[in-house]
Amino acid sequence: MKIIERVKKIFGKPEKKSLENGWHSLNEFVNSWGGESYKSYTFACINARAENISKAGIFLYRRNPNGDQKEIKNHEFLTLISKPNKRNQTFKEILHKVSTSLDLYGNAYIFIHRGLKNKPLGFYHLPSKNVQIVMNKNSSDIDCYEYYTDLGIVKYKPKDIIHFLIPDPDSSVYGKSTISGFNFTLEIDYLQNLYQRNFYKNDAAIGMLLESENILPDDKYERYVNQFKQTYEGAVNTGKTLLLEGGIKAKPYQAFPKDVEILPSQKLIRDEIMTLFRVPKVILGITDDVNRANSRESIKIFNDYVIKPFAKINIESKLNIFLKNNYEEENIFLSLEYDFEIDRDLQLRAYELYRKYDIASVDEIREMEGFSKISNIKNQISNTKNSEE
């Protein structure tokens, strides 16, 4: 009971002092409004971004004293991410969770499970809305991370948490979510979908008006309304023959402009959501105004100017801090690499043009495709014949 009372006491405080010595509402950091926005086109955009983030090729390099770098094929870290935890989650799944959390909450947290000699043995994603950062007495540094569960509060040392965040100019501790860039767009999107839901469920858009010359007694009015709802309300009852009694008359109802303008408005809301998330139409399967040429270019721009910078700034940089803190003597670093999938037909046609106008030799094109040079193959054959003789 003491733990529950403590949680209630903490969440009951309307305000909490931050690192910037300003007063901020505690709810700003622990509420679930981000999760509530994870629907409709917002879900589609966030999920598309997370799926592409999780496609990263992960390469580990060692930097030599002379400045050269060499790829490392075998290392404890590579073994760690090949099986990051006992929940059978893949590292790609963890990257997906991190990307989604950043867009929704601006922060993502990974708990580092350690073994003997404090060696990292596992990664566990912590839901962002359940994590609270606690500063030290001087508000100069992070004292611990508190993780709220149904069984109580778990405290983690800063060295055992990888804190990913989207940089916020107004905070040195917390990040700023992508969806915080919206004004009322997400609310309007929700209300429009709610309106359409009610249209089909409750027949919210009235098709007619019912009039009576006489004032109906309350009991008769209630009975009539309930009977009318049971018989005619809802999409399944559309088109039924209308039978009226007691002097009730029906007359056509002219729809308000908002009833007929909702679809164009929804497209504007959709486009605004996609613009803020910087997701092109083709990624979401929207094909209007999209052809093969501009769709390929849109995907490449999305890969080069959205996915790569987001991953480099918000994820890769934090993983490299983790490597430096845990494998400092090895002078290693990580790189998340994203290869744009080239249209094979266009690539082959390009090779034909290279040969036709002598832009590239046969050997150069073979190297592009990963084959050995013809001259090297001839030398190998010649050397083999000479050795046989």
Quote the pLDDT of residue 7.
43
Q: Which tokens go with 273?
A: 């959501």
Q: What is the DSSP string of 148-191?
A: EETTEEEEE-GGGEEEEE---TT-SSS---GGGG-SSHHHHHHH
**CA max distance for the chain:** 118
Residues 117 and 254 in one domain: no
Question: Which single residue is written with the structure tokens 């700003």?
Answer: 28
Q: Give me the domain span that covers residue 89.
A: 2-181
Which residue among 225, 246, 263 closes a domain? Answer: 263
Helix spans in the chain (H): 2-12, 27-30, 33-36, 40-53, 76-82, 91-105, 185-201, 218-232, 257-260, 262-277, 292-302, 308-311, 317-326, 344-356, 362-368, 374-388
The Cα-based distances of 242 to 211, 225, 230 in angstroms read 14, 14, 13
Residue whose C-alpha is closest to residue 213's, from 246, 261, 251: 246
Domain for residue 247, yes or no?
Answer: yes
Domain count, the chain: 3
Would you say how long the chain is, in residues? 389
CB atoms within 10 A of CB 205: 17
Which residue among 181, 198, 225 closes a domain? Answer: 181
Global confidence as pTM: 0.67
Domain for residue 194, yes or no?
Answer: yes
- Hey, is 306 helix, strand or coil? helix
Residues of the chain with pLDDT below 50 are 1, 3-4, 6-8, 10-33, 204-205, 257, 260
Domain for residue 158, yes or no?
Answer: yes
Residues 14 and 156 in one domain: yes
Q: Which tokens go with 297?
A: 């270019």
Rounded to a whole number of angstroms, the distance between the first and last alpha carbons of the chain is 90
Residues 168 and 201 in one domain: no
Residues 111 and 220 in one domain: no
- In angstroms, rounded to a whole number, what is the distance separating the alpha carbons of residues 74 and 58? 13
Which residue among 234, 263, 292 closes a domain? Answer: 263
Quote the pLDDT of residue 260.
47
Domain for residue 93, yes or no?
Answer: yes
Residues 176 and 193 in one domain: no
Strand order in the sheet with 131-135: 131-135, 142-149, 152-156
Domain for residue 299, yes or no?
Answer: no
Domain for residue 107, yes or no?
Answer: yes
Residues 69 and 172 in one domain: yes
- Hey, is 359 helix, strand or coil? coil
- In angstroms, rounded to a whole number, what is the distance separating the alpha carbons of residues 326 and 62? 14
Residues 216 and 137 in one domain: no
Q: Are 204 and 238 in contact (CB under 8 A)?
A: no
- Hey, is 84 helix, strand or coil? coil
Domain for residue 90, yes or no?
Answer: yes
Q: Are 44 and 276 in contact (CB under 8 A)?
A: no
Residues 155 and 209 in one domain: no
Residues 173 and 65 in one domain: yes
Q: Which tokens go with 31?
A: 């509420």
Domain for residue 309, yes or no?
Answer: no
Residues 346 and 250 in one domain: no
Q: Are 100 and 121 in contact (CB under 8 A)?
A: no
CA trace torsion 308, 100, 161, 21 (10° rounding) = 100
Q: Are 132 and 145 in contact (CB under 8 A)?
A: yes
Q: Are 332 and 72 in contact (CB under 8 A)?
A: yes
- In angstroms, rounded to a whole number, what is the distance separating the alpha carbons of residues 279 and 299? 9
Q: 158 phi and psi, to 5 degrees?
A: -55, -35
Residue whose C-alpha is closest to residue 60's, from 48, 45, 76, 49: 76
